[in-house]
């Protein structure tokens, strides 16, 4: 059996002090029984961004079917898969759970469609790319807050290992072998998704678990929603019959079990988190099938057009509010009665994160915006939209289009 005990995230690891380092010192109660990583896990699952995952698209937008996967369920699936792998390989399970729970906190509304739409806006107005892994790092570092014991809002202030696992988690680019890097780098310097390997073996496990989690589940959901016809199913059977046992039914359970077992049997300190040639070929073929028959399905294209209308409408309306340092007063005077929800929620966000004279004392979190700077304001708008659930974005759009 391949055990990775010697390279796991523990005090004996030469990287340990880097792994548990934080941007600033964190307040710890004398009787706090939590480890560094378990404290991060509890901070993540108690954040508002984590709660919003239950109404964010995984693949299928605003489905009325309770059994179709949302972003919250995907995160839980990644947690379950990565925990099982960590337990078998004897890696740090608490670090795994924290990374898995937080890996999609910065995902846009409307899934990857929303991510592409916001990326277009960001490149046009800020000359920078928007990608959800980097946005997740931004959210856990600066946007998400928790109340401290005094009732004041402060940043999450997570450990380096958790932050690193979140920004490097990209599961869109399949890799047979994942080896952690040695360099202790500034995470905000990472410019492209999947361009940098995780710092820990635990981060590598979550990265592999991300793709394992969504492949089979997306097929199951597509079947439930009748998005695959008989020819599609026959094509999938031809792919999977090469890898499953004769007596097995090929479904989400079998796909996950096959890939998880393969990964566990082939991973080691020497080879990293690794699939066999056969397991990796199965992963690539299933992913190719999903892209051809699910993610590029014409029904999803119509939904992406709808998401684009909502996001651009919100962006254009919020940009029309801008009056430099008079923005808050202008929104209150002109729009509080016309668009009460939009005006109120956006104004409260600006108060929380902007450098304003009367910023409420309850906010101890980092100031992000100078309203006199239009670039800062554009970033504020993008942060606001990217934080929304699908349902909330739709609610605001309905408010703007109702009379």
Co-location of 55 and 164 in the same domain: yes
For the chain, the domain total comes to: 2
Is the pLDDT at 164 greater than 90? The verdict is: yes
Token pair recorded at residue 51: 């709660």
- Asked if residue 138 belongs to a domain, the reply is no
Co-location of 327 and 344 in the same domain: yes
Per the CB < 8 A criterion, the answer to whether 20 and 160 are in contact is yes
Which CATH number belongs to the domain containing residue 238 in this structure? Answer: 1.10.3210.10
Co-location of 200 and 256 in the same domain: yes
By CB neighbour count within 10 A (0-12 exposed, 13-18 middle, 19+ buried), where does 351 fall? Answer: middle
Q: How far apart are CA 89 and CA 129, in angstroms?
A: 36
Per the CB < 8 A criterion, the answer to whether 213 and 77 are in contact is yes
pLDDT cut 90: percent of the chain above it: 74
Per the CB < 8 A criterion, the answer to whether 259 and 279 are in contact is yes
- Asked if residue 125 belongs to a domain, the reply is no
Q: What is the pLDDT of residue 250?
A: 66
**DSSP letters along 107-166, please?**
PPTTHHHHHHHHHHHHHHHTSS---HHHHHHHIIIII-EEE-TTS-EEE----HHHHHHH
- Asked if residue 80 belongs to a domain, the reply is yes
- From 295, 324, 356, give the residue that closes a domain: 295
The 10 Å Cβ neighbour count of residue 220 is: 17
Q: Taking residues 230-239, what's their average pLDDT?
A: 82
Is the pLDDT at 346 greater than 60? The verdict is: yes
- Asked if residue 114 belongs to a domain, the reply is no
Model pLDDT for residues 7-54, shown as the tens digit of each residue: 999 999 999 999 999 998 887 777 788 899 999 999 999 999 999 999
Of 172-181, 237-246, 297-306, 349-358, the least confident: 237-246
Co-location of 384 and 355 in the same domain: yes
- Asked if residue 206 belongs to a domain, the reply is yes
Is the pLDDT at 285 greater than 70? The verdict is: yes
Is the pLDDT at 2 greater than 80? The verdict is: no
Co-location of 280 and 351 in the same domain: no
Is the pLDDT at 246 greater than 60? The verdict is: no
Per the CB < 8 A criterion, the answer to whether 274 and 177 are in contact is yes
Residue in 197, 20, 68, 57 with CA at minimum distance from that of residue 132: 57
- Asked if residue 194 belongs to a domain, the reply is yes
Co-location of 254 and 357 in the same domain: no
pLDDT cut 70: percent of the chain above it: 96
Co-location of 229 and 324 in the same domain: no
Highest mean pLDDT among 119-123, 216-220, 221-225: 119-123
- From 272, 295, 318, give the residue that closes a domain: 295
Helices (H) and strands (E) in the chain, counts: 17, 4
| Beta bridge partner(s), residue 177 | 274
**pLDDT band for position 172 (cuts 50, 70, 90):** low
Q: Range of 304's domain?
A: 299-400
Co-location of 44 and 74 in the same domain: yes
- Asked if residue 110 belongs to a domain, the reply is no
Co-location of 248 and 326 in the same domain: no
Q: What is the pLDDT of residue 371?
A: 97
- From 242, 276, 295, give the residue that closes a domain: 295
Co-location of 316 and 213 in the same domain: no
Half-sphere CA count of 386, side-chain side, radius 13 A: 31
- Asked if residue 88 belongs to a domain, the reply is yes
Helix (H, G, I), strand (E, B), or coil: what is residue 339? coil
Co-location of 291 and 304 in the same domain: no
Q: Taking residues 145-153, what's their average pLDDT?
A: 91
Co-location of 290 and 303 in the same domain: no
pTM of the model: 0.95
């Amino acid at each position: 059996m391949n055990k990775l005990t010697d390279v796991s995230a523990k005090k004996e690891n030469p990287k340990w002090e880097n792994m548990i380092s934080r941007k600033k010192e964190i307040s710890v109660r004398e009787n706090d029984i939590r480890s560094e990583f378990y404290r991060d896990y509890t901070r993540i699952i108690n954040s508002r961004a984590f709660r919003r995952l239950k109404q964010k698209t995984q693949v299928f937008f605003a489905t009325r079917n309770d059994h179709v996967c949302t972003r919250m369920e995907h995160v839980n699936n990644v947690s379950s898969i990565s925990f099982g792998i960590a337990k078998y390989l004897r890696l740090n399970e608490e670090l795994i759970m924290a990374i898995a729970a937080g890996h999609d906190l910065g995902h846009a509304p409307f899934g990857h469609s929303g991510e592409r739409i916001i990326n277009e806006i960001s490149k046009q107005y800020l000359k920078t790319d928007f990608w959800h892994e980097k946005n997740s790092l931004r959210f856990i570092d600066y946007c998400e807050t928790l109340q401290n014991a005094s009732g004041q809002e402060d940043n999450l202030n997570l450990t380096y290992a958790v932050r690193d696992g979140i920004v490097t988690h990209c599961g869109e680019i399949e890799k047979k072998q994942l080896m952690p890097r040695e360099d202790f780098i500034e995470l905000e310097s990472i410019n492209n998704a999947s361009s940098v390997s995780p710092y820990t073996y635990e981060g590598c496990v979550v990265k592999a678990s991300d793709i394992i989690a969504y492949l089979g589940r997306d097929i199951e959901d597509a079947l439930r929603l009748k998005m695959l016809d008989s020819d599609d199913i026959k094509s999938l059977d031809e792919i999977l019959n090469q890898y499953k046992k004769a007596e097995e039914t090929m479904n989400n359970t079998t796909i996950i079990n096959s890939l998880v077992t393969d990964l566990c049997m082939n991973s080691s300190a020497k080879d990293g988190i690794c699939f066999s040639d056969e397991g990796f070929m199965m992963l690539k073929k299933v992913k190719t099938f999903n892209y051809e028959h699910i993610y590029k399905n014409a029904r999803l294209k119509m939904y992406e057009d709808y998401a684009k209308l909502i996001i651009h409408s919100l962006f254009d309306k919020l940009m029309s509010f801008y009056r430099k340092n008079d923005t808050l007063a202008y929104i209150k005077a002109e729009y509080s009665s016309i668009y009460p929800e939009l005006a109120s929620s956006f104004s409260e966000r600006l108060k929380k994160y902007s450098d304003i004279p009367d910023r409420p004392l309850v906010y101890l979190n980092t100031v992000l915006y100078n309203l006199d700077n239009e670039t800062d304001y554009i970033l504020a708008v993008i942060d606001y939209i990217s934080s929304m659930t699908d349902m909330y974005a739709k609610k605001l759009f309905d408010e703007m289009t109702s009379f």
